[in-house]
Chains A and B, each alone.
Chain A
Amino acid sequence: MTTTSTTPAPTRAVRPPSAATALADLGRLITRALRHEARTLDALLVNIALPVLIMIVFVYVFGGAITTGSSGLDYIDFVVPTVLLMAGGYGAALSAVNISEELTGGMIDRFRTLPISGWTVPASHVVASLVRNVAATAIALAVAVALGFRPDATIAEWALVLALVSGYILAVSSIAMVWGLLVTSSQAAGAFSFAVIFFPYLSDGVVPAETMPPLLRGFAEYQPTTPIVETLRALLLDQPMGDAGRLSAVWLAAAVVISLPLAALLFRRRTST
């Protein structure tokens, strides 16, 4: 065979990509994912508008009819931390649709034939989701303030709020990767965002858990949304924190640590056909 070599033959070691290479790949894939965000303005607008609408509905429509039980808070103060989670969670859950469309469209197949680490593709979606949804949550928060929400957090507390909301978005996005790679259609992937919006209703976040029937109340008190909401209330409104902060950190870390490797595994296993 004749060769007309213009570049030296690349060395082809049989090692998996090094950590530095994997991070560089992640960077390339994040650039791509952020380009997607910037180029799908309609999706971005829905991602921002829906949380704002939820905020308005809760404050104006339900706000007058719901009492906040023993907490002594105004309803807007009671509900805003939960709506912030709904806002971030909704958009984060939409990432399931993004990766599912790449799976059914065959893009994942192409990525799987490239010499890259399996976790980088789902991780790039998670990072893009983080950027998108921190922004969406900040907008929802600004609307809440315009509607009369008056947080009294210090700078340090705001930093913790940002960390917690980011952690929640990371966790939901990671679970969304697993869901999006498991289901076989983008419609099914989209159902995840309803689950994520609905989940906080069954917590202490929208109505006080003490008003619920016993079985539901038990669930509401122990599900992860409750400590996260309590932590947010503690940071934003000077409410007692208790164990909620630590519990939230454990829940969110566990969700990311379990979901991302699972997503990487599914990335290698699932195919378009």
Chain B
Amino acid sequence: MYAIHSTAHAEDGIAIHARDLHKSFGDTHVLTGVELTVPAGSLQALLGPNGSGKTTTVRILTTLLAPDRGTATVGGHDVTREGAAVRRDIGLTAQQATVDGLLTGRENLELFAGLYHLGRREARRRAAGLLDRFDLGAAADRRVATYSGGMRRRLDLAASMVAAPRILFLDEPTTGLDPRSRAELWSVIRELLASGTTILLTTQYLEEADQLADRIAVIDAGRVVADDTPAALKRQVGSERLALRLARADDLPRAAAALSTGDAGPHLDPDAREIVLAVQDPDHLRRALDLLHRAGIPVERTELRTPTLDDVFFELTAVTA
């Protein structure tokens, strides 16, 4: 039902192209040269912590903010010089849910559909379809002010999809959603992708990017520090983290020396008496403990954990630094 576009995006098959984007607010340099190329019909994740520049990038690409330097095209149109053309092709779900609390869910969707110039009957049809799709059918004729946070969020997403835009920007769309709503949203995103929509999604969750994205751009301090497929990034980051807590903090340098045989060196945390390394398989754990045992370094506790965003950053920023 979302489906719509048989025509290609821009002639070169590139839906979003950003070059050397810079943006500062006063003395704060939020973007320091963002580069991004998103092929039409793919899902690009923008992964990064708070304040890394994800939202600013999205705001520039959706014509809400002008870059200080650099250029960007969306759907083949320049975001600063051809804003009106860009706006015809895009939908945005911002971090903050932006729906009208005094209108009902249905009125909201019909309003936005109308402002995308869909025609009254088509607007009604799309609104009704999306309300059902997002499990808002029962609340459709209640004012949005009475909705729960999750319901608002879902309505917000429906609003950005109501005109079936060719390029959809989702800025942390699952923040604040319960697991069921999140799974529902993921399936909607997959459907949109299957119908040819290009999606740029920002997230703080590695798992979300991994689940959905064709490519993940890791953004840190206003720059893209890595841009690759999820599989390649995970290879780089390692599948799991092994944290070894030593009995004596003094042993840390020796332990690091004993263990630094792999691709990525271990990461020391003196305060926690911890040494953290990426492990590829269970055997790795045995070898590490073996090495420490032979070096006569007592280990107090071991912990295996899946890599967090922190680990990704440590890995990627350590490589580029």
Contacts and interface: CB of A to CB of B under 8 A. Distances in A.
Contacts of B91: 113
Contact of B64 (A1, A10, A271): A271
Contacts of B5: 3, 5, 9
A115 B98 contact: no
A17 to B, nearest CB: 8
Interface in A212-267: none
B90 A113 contact: yes
A115 B116 contact: yes
Contacts of B85: 12, 14
Contact of A3 (B1, B107, B159, B196): B196
Interface string A68-110: 0000000000000000000000000000000000000111011
B89 interface: yes
Nearest to A114: B115
B61 to A, nearest CB: 10
A5 B6 contact: yes
A115 B84 contact: yes
Nearest to A272: B96
Given A35-B103, A39-B143, A106-B96, A12 B4 contact: no
Given A114-B115, A116-B115, A109 B98 contact: yes
B7 interface: yes
Nearest to A111: B115
B112 interface: yes
Interface residues of B, number: 45
Interface string A1-17: 11111110110101111
Contacts of B114: 24-25, 28
Given A9-B7, A109-B64, A28 B102 contact: no
Interface in B236-269: none
Given A5-B3, A28-B115, A109-B98, A115 B63 contact: no
Nearest to A7: B4
B111 A28 contact: yes
Contacts of A14: 77, 82, 84-85
A107 B98 contact: yes
A29 B110 CA distance: 11
A3 B6 contact: yes
A115 B77 CA distance: 14
Interface in B195-223: 195-196
B59 interface: yes
B96 A115 contact: no
Given A7-B4, A106-B94, A271-B59, A115 B111 contact: no
Given A39-B102, A107-B100, A114-B112, A3 B87 contact: no
- Chain B interface helix/strand/loop/mixed: loop
B53 interface: no
B98 A9 contact: no
Interface in B83-134: 84-85, 87-92, 94, 96-100, 102-103, 107, 111-112, 114-117, 122
B62 interface: yes
Given A109-B98, A113-B90, A115-B88, A25 B115 contact: yes
Contacts of B117: 17, 21, 24, 115
Contacts of B97: 106
B295 interface: no
A35 B88 CA distance: 27
A25 B5 CA distance: 25
B55 to A, nearest CB: 8
Contacts of A10: 4
B84 A112 contact: no
A1 B115 contact: no
A6 B84 contact: no
Contacts of B183: none
B232 interface: no
A36 interface: yes
B111 A12 contact: no
B246 to A, nearest CB: 45
B291 interface: no
Nearest to A6: B3
B142 to A, nearest CB: 12
Contacts of B143: 39
Given A7-B122, A28-B111, A113-B90, 4 more contacts: A3-B196, A106-B98, A110-B94, A115-B117
16 contacts: A1-B40, A1-B41, A3-B6, A5-B6, A9-B4, A16-B84, A17-B117, A29-B115, A32-B107, A35-B103, A105-B96, A106-B98, A111-B115, A112-B63, A115-B88, A271-B64
